[in-house]
């Protein structure tokens, strides 16, 4: 479909350079993380990677636990690909792209056990906290996966419990008690185009990818979630190289969090 | 029953602090941010562009399509369920009607101008903030316009007429409250949005409209300044 663009990008990659002059495994600059940007949320963060701009807000609600885990709270991740942020996004219920984004962010947080669900229990079998994380891109200039994951973990870091008297949540009253985070999973999406690997694709590069692998890892480099995408297969050697890039870049991205 | 001093300490004709910025969404054809107190709106304009499905097309002129949406975490209470409500649909409609009179879409048959308004954070006056942002975004998109559109809510709390009600005043319990969101074209003084809920006398409403002119002119200056900040003059 984008044959000309693709061959142009590949010829540049063979010379170790990207469309915008970056090296293959460089993120766009600046990377900015801003905390507590939305006062109506219990926690929030805004992440900018180059021109990509994502807002994540966290709301805390009290609900009933699942029958199979009566003493555990839960997280819910939602993503809306707002038509405000990209000319190709349309109004309507979340499509498969939005669902995949939400689920990849969800798994990074859930599977790393960044949140101890037991600590979200208020009264076993009856009342638990639900941590609802909503991803809203303001401007999508590529790489929503990494920007959203980073914004989600930053928003969780800034989350404070509202008051709860056993019956009702009083959102006007913040308790000052922070949501505890045990780990900080970071997602890095490694892209394969031709036989080259890059990170942080922009809008043009996203049109011509062969495959992508989102690698979520925690502080010590342990992997906690992965998602392969794209129409082309990966070899064992590809995966080996992509994981190395993902883990290394994850350490770099984590430094932007305070 | 008298409302001597405003609960928020403002003067009766004083709006909350306003911030405005143009060109905040690089992928859009035009965009703007408008913040009034704790109410925060983004607007992006895409188009004129092809309109699908085809049966919606008008061969005489382009159409304007607005969508108002609150982000799930934008309310101070519980999470807002995504996907739009009857309320957000109605606001989208009145926003469209508030903006349409300043546009000239005759040159764009079969096309659409899409305006997407998103609210990351709200505390009263969100439809007006959305309209202010949208009108700046339309100008930023380079569309031919007869005027900007300035919007703010007015109202009556107990016995006082005032501008830009906030949440504490909208939910005032010790007297009647009327909330009147208005959008005005600053150069002609014409009104393109008028809604009201509460109770108010006809004479008071006419007084509110007069008060509205001054507040709208203040907003107009802020909008113009924000637009000029993006398109600063170049010395040759």
Would you place residue A1 in the very low, low, confident or very high pLDDT band (cuts 50, 70, 90)? low
Cross-chain Cβ contact A85/B25 below 8 Å: yes
B116 and A CB contact within 8 Å: yes
Chain B, 86-105: which have a CB under 8 Å from a chain A CB? none
Average pLDDT, chain A: 95
pLDDT for res B175:
82
- Which residues make beta-bridge pairs with A137? A54
Average pLDDT, chain B: 93
pLDDT at position B235:
72
pLDDT digits (tens, 9 = 90+) for A121-170: 999 999 999 999 999 999 999 999 999 999 999 999 999 999 999 889 99
Q: What is the pLDDT of residue B52?
A: 86
A40, B122: Cβ pair inside 8 Å?
yes
> pLDDT tens-digit profile of B199-222?
889 999 999 988 888 999 999 999
Taking only residues 6 to 35 of chain B, the set having a beta carbon closer than 8 angstroms to any beta carbon of chain A reads 24-28
Q: In chain A, what residues touch B49 (CB-CB under 8 Å)?
A: 87
pLDDT at site B1 = 67
Looking only at the bridges linking them, the beta strands covering A211-217 and A196-199 are unpaired
* 3-state secondary structure string across chain B: CCCCCCCCCCCCCCCCCEEEEECCCCCCCEEEEEEECCEEEEEEEEEEEECCCHHHCCCCCCEEEEEEEECCCCCCCCCCCCCCCHHHHHHHHHHHHHHHHHECCCCCCCEEEEEEEEEEECCCCHHHHHHHHHHHHHHHCCCCECCCCEEEEEEEECCEEEECCCHHHHCCCCCCEEEEEEEECCCCCCEEEECCEECCCHHHHHHHHHHHHHHHHHHHHHHHHHHHHHCCCCCC
Q: Does B79 touch chain A (CB under 8 A)?
A: yes
Name chain A contacts of B44, Cβ cutoff 8 Å. 83-85
Chain B positions touching A139 (Cβ under 8 A) are 24-28
B195 touches A: beta carbon within 8 Å: no
Residue A134 · residue A152 · CB < 8 Å: no
Distance from CA of A51 to the nearest CA of B (A): 7
What integer pLDDT is reported at residue A151 of this predicted model?
98
A176 touching B (Cβ < 8 Å): no
Q: Element (H or E) spanning A154, and its range?
A: helix A144-157
Q: Number of C-alpha atoms within 13 angstroms, CB side, residue B66?
A: 26
Q: What is the per-residue pLDDT across A27-62, written as a single tens digit (0 to 9) for each?
A: 999 999 999 999 999 999 999 999 999 999 999 999
Residue in the block written with tokens 């219990």: A42
Q: Nearest to residue B183, comparing CAs of B138, B104, B127, B224? A: B127
pLDDT in tens, A203-218: 999 999 999 999 999 9
B55: distance to nearest CA of chain A, Å? Answer: 18
């Amino acid at each position: 479909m984008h044959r000309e663009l693709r061959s142009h990008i590949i010829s540049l990659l063979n010379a170790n350079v990207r469309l915008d002059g970056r090296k293959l495994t460089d993120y766009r600059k600046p990377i900015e993380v801003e905390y507590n940007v939305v006062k109506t949320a219990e926690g929030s963060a805004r992440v900018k990677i180059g021109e990509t701009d994502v807002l994540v807000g966290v709301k805390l609600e009290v609900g009933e636990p699942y029958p199979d885990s009566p003493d555990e709270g839960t997280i819910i991740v939602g993503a809306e690909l707002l038509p405000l942020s990209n000319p190709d996004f349309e109004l309507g219920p979340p499509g498969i792209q939005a669902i995949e984004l939400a689920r990849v962010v969800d798994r990074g947080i859930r599977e790393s056990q960044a949140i101890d669900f037991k600590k979200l229990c208020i009264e076993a079998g009856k009342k638990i906290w639900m941590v609802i994380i909503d991803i809203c891109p303001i401007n999508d200039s590529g790489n929503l996966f990494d920007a959203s994951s980073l914004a989600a973990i930053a928003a969780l870091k800034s989350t404070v419990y509202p008051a709860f008297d056993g019956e009702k949540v009083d959102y006007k009253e913040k308790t000052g008690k922070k949501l505890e985070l045990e780990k900080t999973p970071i997602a890095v999406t490694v892209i394969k185009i031709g036989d080259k690997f890059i990170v942080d694709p922009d809008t043009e590069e996203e049109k011509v990818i062969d495959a992508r692998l989102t690698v979520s890892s925690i502080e010590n480099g342990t992997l906690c979630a992965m998602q392969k995408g794209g129409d082309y297969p990966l070899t064992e050697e590809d995966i080996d190289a992509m994981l190395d890039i993902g883990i290394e870049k994850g350490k770099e991205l984590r430094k932007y969090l305070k | 029953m008298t409302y001597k001093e405003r609960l928020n300490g403002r003067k009766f004709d004083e709006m909350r602090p306003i911030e405005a910025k143009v060109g905040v969404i690089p992928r859009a054809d035009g965009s703007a941010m408008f913040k009034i107190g704790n109410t925060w709106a983004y607007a992006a304009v895409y188009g004129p562009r092809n309109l699908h499905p085809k049966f919606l097309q008008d061969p005489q002129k382009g159409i304007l399509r607005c969508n108002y949406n609150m982000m799930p975490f934008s309310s101070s209470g519980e999470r807002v369920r995504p996907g739009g409500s009857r309320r957000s649909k109605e606001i989208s409609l009145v926003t469209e009607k508030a903006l349409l009179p300043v546009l000239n879409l005759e040159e764009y048959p079969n096309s659409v101008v899409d305006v997407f308004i998103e609210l990351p954070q709200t505390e009263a006056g969100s439809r007006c903030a959305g309209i202010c942002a949208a009108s700046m975004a339309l100008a930023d998109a380079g569309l031919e316009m007869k005027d900007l559109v300035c919007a703010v809510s007015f109202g009556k709390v107990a016995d006082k007429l005032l501008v830009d009600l906030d949440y504490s005043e909208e939910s005032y319990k010790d007297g009647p409250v009327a909330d009147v969101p208005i959008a005005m074209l600053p150069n002609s003084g014409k009104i393109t949005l008028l809604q009201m809920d509460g109770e108010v006398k006809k004479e008071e409403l006419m007084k509110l409209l007069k008060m509205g002119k001054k507040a709208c002119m203040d907003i107009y200056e802020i909008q113009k300044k924000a637009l000029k900040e993006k398109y600063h003059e170049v010395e040759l």
